[in-house]
Amino acid sequence: LYTAPDSCEGRCGEPYREEDECHCHEGCPSSHSCCEDFHRHCLADGFSSSQDAITDQDLLDISEKLYKVDHNKARPTDITINPQYQADPEETGDQEDRSPQPLYKYVNEELFSKPTYSSFIKLLDNYQRVTGREEEVTTEELREQDTFLKEVMKTELMKKLFAFLYTKNRYSSQQEFVDDLKEMWFGLYSRGAGEQDSSGFEHVFSGEVKKGKVSGFHNWIRFYLLEKRGIVNYFSHNFNGPWDSYPDVLGLQFSWDGFYKEVGSAFIGCSPEFELGIYTLCFIARPGRACHLSLGGYSLSIQTYPWTKSTYGSGKKFIGTAYIISS
């Protein structure tokens, strides 16, 4: 149900892009650059037929639609940030705190009472952050996952995303989509020592510590809540998106309980369903490759990677990571 970077499954008719490992457009046979399964997928009907391909233009169109229906995002009066020092690329690894004040001057916490926010926040304390430690998932935590997915699927944003994927023959029902979201994001796999110690959701939204460094941790709500408690210390930013409203985008340097994150890109002020939706879209359409989107007329790229060492269902991949390309 997702597009592998070395396969033509779901990519038939995609335009040529130099960064692709192999190609699936009409001219690839003459340039000997087709993926190995080009003939099997692109000369047959079904999921891989050209009308089911998610084109670059499709991604620009659907991302603009999702951006416009993020009804739960922060308003301009809901958040005040203080980005302070902008680091040069060669400074991001210095681990030097060049911003004496917190990043967040003000957040209207009434946002967090919205159902998608409150159910999202309940998920954040469900994880052991250090890789190599087995995750013990309780019945209550499984219920919290289901509640979050139920709440996001009530939103116009996630309904639009499902409708788009349905027209592209990726899912035959909303329940199939929800079931796949649960496996894709919450299914456990091993990042270290063979333990079931990680998931896409933990990595991207809650954050992990691996080999003494912060891994993942790309969510503004998580950052704000930990900064408020004095557990996260903002150092600087190396990238500030062009937006003058929310969601904005920053590339951050920070420490989490003394563990350092050299570049942690994040949407600022978006709803949980917006992030979940945008990352899911890119993971299904362009896993392992840059996924080029349009938000309010501005260009933005997302990078996702599938976890390649284990699968679920009939060979489907978990989300390894998803983040905004901020350099």
**Residues tagged active-site:** 203, 218, 261
**How, if at all, do strands 232-240 and 248-256 pair?**
antiparallel
Residues 54, 61: contact at Cβ < 8 Å?
Answer: no
In 202-239, which positions are buried (b, 16+ CB within 10 angstroms) versus exposed (e)?
bbbbbbbbbeeebbbbbbbbbbbbbbeeeebbbbbbbb
299: CB partners within 8 A, 6+ apart: 292, 293
Q: Which two three-digit tokens encode residue 48?
A: 């891989």
Q: Quickly tell me which residue has 């690894």 as its tokens.
A: 93
Dihedral angle at the C-alpha atoms of 326, 158, 150, 172, nearest 10 degrees? -120
